[in-house]
C-alpha cells in the first residue's frame, strides 16, 4: 500500500496514516506570521523511487482559521526526504508539489489556528493543525 508512496514535506509532517488505523493523530505545528503577509506553511509531494510524481495531493481545510485564510496551490519545490530514504536523491531538484499558504487578516495580531487534511494519490490520509501567532 505504501510501497511507492512517501510524502516529501518541507515541514517534517509525520507520515500519513491509513484509514484502518486507530484514532488518527494530528500533528501540531507552531508558526509566526506577519499581519497581512502570506506565509508558505509547506509543500507536499508524492514521488516514486525514480523521483517521478505519483500525482497531486488533495488538501482540504477541516477547521478554518478565524482571523485569516488558507490557500492551496500547485508548483515546484525541493523535496525534503531524510538521508536514509531511497528518495533522498530526489531532494536535489524541484519536483511537482502542492503548497499550503496562510494569510492573516490585515491589521489583525494575535493567535490563530486551523487544521488541514492531506490525501495522497493512493488515498492515504494525514491531518495537521497549525497554531499561528500573528505579529
CB atoms within 10 A of CB 25: 11
pLDDT of residue 90: 95
pLDDT of residue 15: 46
Phi, psi at residue 41, to the nearest 5°? -85, -30
Inform me whether the pLDDT recorded for 31 exceeds 50. yes
Report whether 77 contacts 90 (CB < 8 A).
Answer: no
pLDDT tens digits along 82-118: 999 999 999 999 999 999 999 999 999 999 999 999 9
| Average pLDDT of every residue of the chain | 85
Report whether 112 contacts 67 (CB < 8 A).
Answer: yes
Residue with cell 494530528: 26
The whole-angstrom distance between residue 19's C-alpha and the CA centroid of its chain comes to: 18
CB atoms within 10 A of CB 48: 15
Quote the pTM value.
0.76
Amino acid at each position: 500500500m505504501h510501497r511507492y508512496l512517501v510524502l516529501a514535506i518541507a515541514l517534517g509532517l509525520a507520515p500519513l496514516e491509513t484509514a484502518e488505523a486507530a484514532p488518527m493523530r494530528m500533528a501540531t505545528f507552531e508558526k509566526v506570521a506577519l499581519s497581512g503577509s502570506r506565509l508558505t506553511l509547506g509543500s507536499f509531494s508524492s514521488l516514486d523511487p525514480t523521483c517521478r510524481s505519483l500525482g497531486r495531493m488533495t488538501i482540504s481545510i477541516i477547521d478554518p482559521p478565524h482571523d485569516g485564510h488558507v490557500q492551496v496551490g500547485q508548483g515546484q519545490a525541493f523535496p525534503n526526504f531524510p538521508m536514509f530514504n531511497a528518495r533522498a536523491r530526489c531532494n536535489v531538484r524541484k519536483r511537482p508539489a502542492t503548497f499550503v499558504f496562510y494569510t492573516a487578516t490585515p491589521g489583525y495580531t494575535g493567535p490563530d489556528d486551523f487544521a488541514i487534511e492531506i490525501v495522497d494519490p493512493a488515498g492515504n490520509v494525514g491531518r495537521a493543525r497549525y497554531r499561528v501567532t500573528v505579529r
